[in-house]
């Protein structure tokens, strides 16, 4: 259902305004993460890790908690290839943007899987195996946390990554949390399609907010028009993702 609702609300239609979320959105309990020893942050595309949980990841890294980012795709399907820029060219650009953004957040451990963008569901079983391997290399048990895109986020790649991460976390025995990116676009406050009871909030400090804003500015390929194609991340999308708090579902 979430995939259908996302498809019915193109980004150009702006979705649910941030002002609506700010004025009518519910409040959630704070996330309790005592004992968290290592965060594995799984991103479908090279920007989701920053947009969804970049602030929290930055705070953890600054406090000495290791953070490993798993970039599932290289984001080559965000724009139509042209004679001047092939899909491989775009993938290289997006990898470089992501690398710069993660440096801004203080994160250096990045694993890139290069699954074809837009086709993650077709590689879901292999992705589970790859994620189990990453999780097993950093540790096992509940002190390892795997953060992934929400299984009901609306974008097919995001949901496939969420499913694969959940399966991998179950095999590893680590703690799973899910973060929304596109849910804020298609859903509305109190939406019955969202399990609000499991939502938790993370309040960002001033340094984390500033680092996240700088990191997001690195994604020039996504935040500017490309010929006749609109931005993938126009200002109204970024407004929903550059809050002073981040949200996860436990």
In the three-class reduction of DSSP (H, G, I as helix; E, B as strand; rest coil), residue 100 is classed as helix
CA distance 209 to 246: 10
* Domain containing residue 12: 2-249
- Answer whether residue 1 shows pLDDT above 70: no
Report the CATH number that the domain containing residue 157 is assigned in CATH.
3.40.50.10320
User: Residue 197's pLDDT is what?
Assistant: 97
Q: What is the pLDDT of residue 131?
A: 99
Name the domain count of the chain: 1
- Give pTM, 2 decimals: 0.95
How would residue 79 be classed by pLDDT, with cut points 50, 70 and 90?
A: low
Position 230 confidence tier, pLDDT thresholds 50, 70, 90: confident
Over residues 224-247, the mean pLDDT reads: 90
Pairing of β 144-149 and β 38-43: parallel
Mean of the pLDDT values across residues 161-165? Answer: 99
Task: Give tens-digit pLDDT for 202-218.
Answer: 999 999 999 999 999 99
Residue 7 pLDDT > 90:
no
Residue 116's pLDDT is: 95
Integer CA distances (angstroms), 148 to 24, 190, 205, 219, in order: 26, 22, 22, 20
Among residues of the chain, what percentage have pLDDT more than 70? 98
């Amino acid at each position: 259902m979430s995939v259908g609702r996302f498809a019915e609300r193109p980004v150009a239609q702006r979705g649910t305004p941030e002002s609506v979320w700010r004025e009518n959105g519910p409040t959630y309990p704070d996330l309790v993460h005592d004992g968290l020893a290592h965060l594995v942050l799984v991103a479908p595309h090279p920007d989701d890790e920053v947009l969804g949980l970049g602030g929290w990841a930055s705070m953890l890294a600054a406090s000495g908690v290791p953070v490993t980012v798993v970039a599932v795709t290289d984001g080559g399907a965000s724009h139509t290839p042209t004679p001047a820029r092939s899909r491989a060219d775009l993938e290289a650009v997006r990898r470089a943007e992501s690398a710069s953004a993660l440096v801004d957040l203080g994160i250096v451990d990045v694993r890139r899987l290069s699954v074809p963008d837009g086709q993650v569901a077709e590689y879901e079983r292999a992705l589970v195996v790859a994620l189990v391997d990453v999780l097993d290399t950093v540790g096992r048990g509940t002190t390892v946390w795997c953060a992934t895109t929400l299984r009901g986020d609306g974008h097919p790649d995001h949901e496939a990554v969420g499913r694969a991460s959940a399966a991998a976390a179950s095999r590893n025995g680590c703690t799973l949390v899910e973060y929304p990116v596109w849910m804020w676009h298609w859903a509305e406050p109190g939406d019955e399609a969202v399990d609000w009871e499991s939502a938790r909030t993370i309040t960002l400090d001033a340094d984390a907010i500033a680092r996240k804003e700088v990191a997001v500015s690195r994604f020039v390929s996504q935040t500017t028009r490309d010929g006749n194609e609109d931005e993938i991340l126009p200002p109204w999308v970024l407004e929903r993702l550059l809050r002073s708090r981040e949200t996860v579902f436990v």
